[in-house]
Structure 1
Amino acid sequence: MLPESNSPIRPALSRLLVAVLVTAGLIAPVHFARAAPADLVEQEVVFPSGELTMHGTVIAPAATSNSRRPAVVMVHGSGRVSREGYRQEAESFARSGIVTLIYDKRPKRSETDVDFSLLANDALAGVRTLRTRADVDQARTGLWGVSEGGWVAPLAASRSADVAFVVTVGGPGVSPARQQSWNLVNRFAAAGVSGSLPDTVSRTTLGLIVGAGFFPEPGYDPVPVLRRVTQPVLGLWGELDRVIPGAESMRIFQEAFDRGGNTHYTLRAVPGADHTMRRTSDGFRSLDEISPAYLEQVSSWVTGLAAGPPAASTGAPAQQDRRTVPVEAGAPWLEVAAVAVLLLGFAGYGVGGAVRRLRGRRDVPLARRPARWLAATGLLSVLGLFGYLGYLASTGAKNLGVVVLGRPLPWLVLQVLAVGVVVAAVATIAVAWRARPELARPHRLRLGLLAAAGVVFLPWALHWGLLLP
């Protein structure tokens, strides 16, 4: 450990030097002591993962022991998660005799900057760090992964014999896009939303996001990886998990292990627990209390590995009201083309009229009223749809507001508006057709573009569920 200093410059230079040397592999991971609960000890660590320097905390029992202890690296769920989010569980595991490493997740350059392979490498770097400790049994050093970590931890284990076991918590057995679609449908159902909106958001919108490349690792298939995992596995799912399909995932895990020849797995649903093993009554409103049954299961299973790997065992599955469905990638270019026609027709009609008025010209009054209604309602529908869907995507559909007739109020307004667009389009086309001999060429062009937008709007609105029940 480098000497401490009261100067703010020297500690900064020391940390930089340590990071450079660790990254270059010239020194072993460096440990910095810090305060901990009386029954535990903590050490701050930095360790290399490729070109990146990782920062973490090792939490271990304070009581000295002549025997080496089991150890586990805790692998993050999705999002910008720091090590502190797992401290409560890590301290519980340490109190049961398991040396535990929590670490800060690698920084993301954007929301789509997710690479399961790199995250697996980070987890393996953590395993290598724990295996250097004198109090750790290398033959009982494994991985724990929650949610997204349920994809990452098995991937890491399939790559290295250094991983002695795997614990997954809420591990998905399906692809990320399929899992997210299922999660969104559950949120709508819990809010009392029915009709076309759940399908519009969970499949059409999500499919467009996938097709545009804005959804990270959308089609990642965990099954081939699970078949390559030969280490003992403890798979736990919250009985009331509404984020990932617990029953379906448990079945997929079991089938994959059986086909891969792994006979040392334990798969269980934890009663009264949600996705992250907090106690809950419905899977959505969670208490700030981790399920004691879950903590005990992990601790007893990991410490019990000293007696040998467990035999294959599968318990009753978690609750799952509906199966997952595939998410087909949308065609962004087709959507852009459709929206371009709609905006050109709807917005172009009003802009063209404004330009003519500025030049002192007056439109022929025939077809003016229905055309104005079509232009206004059409533009509001297009902009309103993408504004609302963008809001739902950014919030994960967690705040749907007032629900009327099984529809959130903004969606109900958009559907009524879409019906108005269709009525206005029919009226505009009918009036313009009758009046076509009397219309000047510029006005015929404007009405033609507007009518074309009205025609395109019908299949477009059906595609987005605006004209569906």
Structure 2
Amino acid sequence: MKLLAAILAVLFALPLPAGATAPPGLPADLTSTEVSFRGEGGLELHGSVISPANARAGRPGVVLVHGAGTGTPREKLLAEAVGAARQGLSVLIYDKRSQGYSTTERSYPQLAEDALGAVATLRRQPGVDPAKVGIWGLSEGGWVAPLAATRPSSGIAFVIVVGANALSPLRQQAWAVAAGLRKAGAGGSLVGRAEPNLYRVIADGGLFPEPYHDPEPVLARVRQPVLAIWGVHDLLTPPRETPPLFADALEAGGNRRYTFRFFPQADHAAHLTPDGGVTRLPELAPGYAELVGTWVGEATSGRAPVAQVSGPAPVQAVDSFGVPPTAWWESAAMQVVALVLLLVAFGGYPVVALVRRVRRRDAGVPSVAARVISAGGLVAILGGFAYLFYVIMTGGKLAAPGPMLGDRPVLWLALQAVAVATVAATAVTVATWRRAGTRGERVRLGLLIAGGAVFVPWALYWGLLLP
């Protein structure tokens, strides 16, 4: 059975019959061979090997690893594949897995095993020198590619990363969204408190995959030559902070065969951008593909440059910030408990009044302060979370906080005003609680007061009571 499994694994890694459909838009001076291979867990993945039409024997090859995204098709990296193939390389691009990978679930070791399956496939292609096959990773692939390169017997000859990050994924994402908000003119507690806290709670709840992956120990184990490329206008990776950390990690492992290059007028993916990184054009930055071709030739012939850094200084307006794990009192579980208590406290008051009216019992005349606590608390809680999730979903370089008043989004200011009114109404209700007409009314008001008491630290934590 083991022999049969091995034979099947080899068969599934072989190219499909010639004449299979090539990726759309492939230039006439290039050829494509469709391949299928096994990724981690035996998942079948499909890709294309793109080569020059007059490819020479013994040529280098490179596997391209996608950035973040579920089931990203190979065509997303066609521009990079075409650019590298025109430099004399054979390039394997493949459809990213969707099984086991989603917005809330992913494993970098799993993605690294997928990439290694692609590397093994490319090394078997006719005309490709198996000793000259490397790996290239974009963005999230910048965490995956070095991990694959450190696997024993990976066969990887070199590593190229673009828009890569030496920070943890959670810290990178929190920085990107905060930087996007600041770029849109937002500041204050929304950016400094609410946004990072939301990411910390999401990570604690298991909804942010691989949040604390540490790339530096992985980079310290990379022994292959490394080419790292950043666009000067990278809005998703801190482009000023990351390169020194990359260099320190590589040198800590004794690897000085690295080349860092910064491209002007280029974005996160080293594509041209006309507006400082917000819009990505289809064209690669001038000289990017040529750099890859020249550097791969040097790296695969044992002449990789040593500690070479060049290009204009990257633009990074603000530093990244720590996003540590939550303490027990701010954990996702405690946030859920607090949310349930607040909803019961604030929602229970009108519900009880409605039930009493339906049963034709005297519901009493609710005070203005009680109404403000109930309605204001519900609006602040539900509206606050709705707005925060909207912000992070439109975060990063395309942050859209809505209309602004100074450096504060109008919607956030409105939520803060509601929160202040809720606290003030709670104080008024505390002062009048003993004068409530009936015992039942005192119980209902007591529940509202308890909710208001819990609401104060909750609103402070989420920045609704902070400037």
TM-score for the superposition, normalised by structure 1: 0.90
Q: Could you tell me how far apart the structure 2 residues matched to 1:23 and 1:271 are? A: 48
Q: Offset at 1:48? A: 1.6
User: Structure 2: where are the runs of 5+ without partners?
Assistant: none
CA contact (8 A) 2:197 2:462 kept: yes
Matched with 2:307 is 312
Q: Does 1:48 align with 2:38?
A: yes
Query: Aligned AA for 2:118?
Result: G
Q: 2:441 aligns with which of 415, 421, 443?
A: 443
Cα distance, 1:334–1:116 mapped onto 2, change above 3 Å: same
Matched with 1:25 is 10
Q: Offset at 1:306? A: 4.5
Q: Could you tell me how far apart the structure 2 residues matched to 1:208 and 1:84 are? A: 35
Number of equivalences: 445
Which SS does the other structure have where 1:467 is aligned? coil
Cα distance, 1:327–1:27 mapped onto 2, change above 3 Å: closer
Query: Aligned AA for 2:67?
Result: G
Q: Does 1:340 align with 2:331?
A: no
Deviations 1:364-414 (A, max 9, x none): 44x622111211111111111112122223333633222222222221211
Q: Does 1:88 align with 2:73?
A: no
Q: Offset at 1:211? A: 0.6
Which SS does the other structure have where 2:229 is aligned? strand
CA contact (8 A) 1:108 1:114 kept: no
Q: Offset at 1:266? A: 0.6
Matched with 1:135 is 127
TM-score for the superposition, normalised by structure 2: 0.91
Cα distance, 1:201–1:378 mapped onto 2, change above 3 Å: closer
Q: Could you tell me how far apart the structure 2 residues matched to 1:31 and 1:108 are? A: 22
Q: 2:232 aligns with which of 222, 233, 239?
A: 239
CA contact (8 A) 1:48 1:125 kept: yes
Matches within 5 A, 1:312-331: 312-315=307-310, 317-330=313-326, 331=331
CA contact (8 A) 2:12 2:36 kept: no
Which SS does the other structure have where 2:88 is aligned? coil
Cα distance, 1:27–1:421 mapped onto 2, change above 3 Å: closer
Which SS does the other structure have where 1:234 is aligned? strand
Deviations 1:62-82 (A, max 9, x none): 0143x3111000001001211
Moved more, 104-113 or 132-141: 104-113
User: Structure 1: where are the runs of 5+ without partners?
Assistant: 1-19
Matched with 1:389 is 388
Matched with 2:431 is 430
Q: Offset at 1:458? A: 1.2
Matched with 1:355 is 355
Q: Could you tell me how far apart the structure 1 residues matched to 2:94 and 2:67 are? A: 12
Percent of matched pairs sharing the same residue: 44
RMSD, aligned α-carbons: 1.9
Q: Could you tell me how far apart the structure 2 residues matched to 1:285 and 1:394 are? A: 18
CA contact (8 A) 2:79 2:282 kept: no
Q: Could you tell me how far apart the structure 1 residues matched to 2:8 and 2:159 are? A: 26
Moved more, 324-333 or 445-454: 324-333
CA contact (8 A) 1:30 1:45 kept: yes
Q: Offset at 1:178? A: 0.5
Q: Offset at 1:189? A: 0.9
Q: Does 1:98 align with 2:78?
A: no
CA contact (8 A) 1:279 1:289 kept: yes
Q: Offset at 1:114? A: 0.8
Matched with 1:57 is 48
CA contact (8 A) 2:239 2:315 kept: yes
Q: Does 1:277 align with 2:275?
A: no
Matched with 1:16 is none
Query: Aligned AA for 1:100?
Result: V
Q: Could you tell me how far apart the structure 2 residues matched to 1:373 and 1:310 are? A: 68
Query: Aligned AA for 1:313?
Result: Q
Q: Does 1:222 align with 2:215?
A: yes
Q: Offset at 1:27? A: 5.8
Deviations 1:40-59 (A, max 9, x none): 11011111224111100000
CA contact (8 A) 1:25 1:48 kept: no
Matched with 2:455 is 457
CA contact (8 A) 2:136 2:160 kept: yes
Q: Offset at 1:440? A: 1.6
Cα distance, 1:430–1:128 mapped onto 2, change above 3 Å: same
Q: 2:67 aligns with which of 69, 74, 77?
A: 77
Matched with 1:68 is 58
Q: 1:252 aligns with which of 245, 250, 254?
A: 245
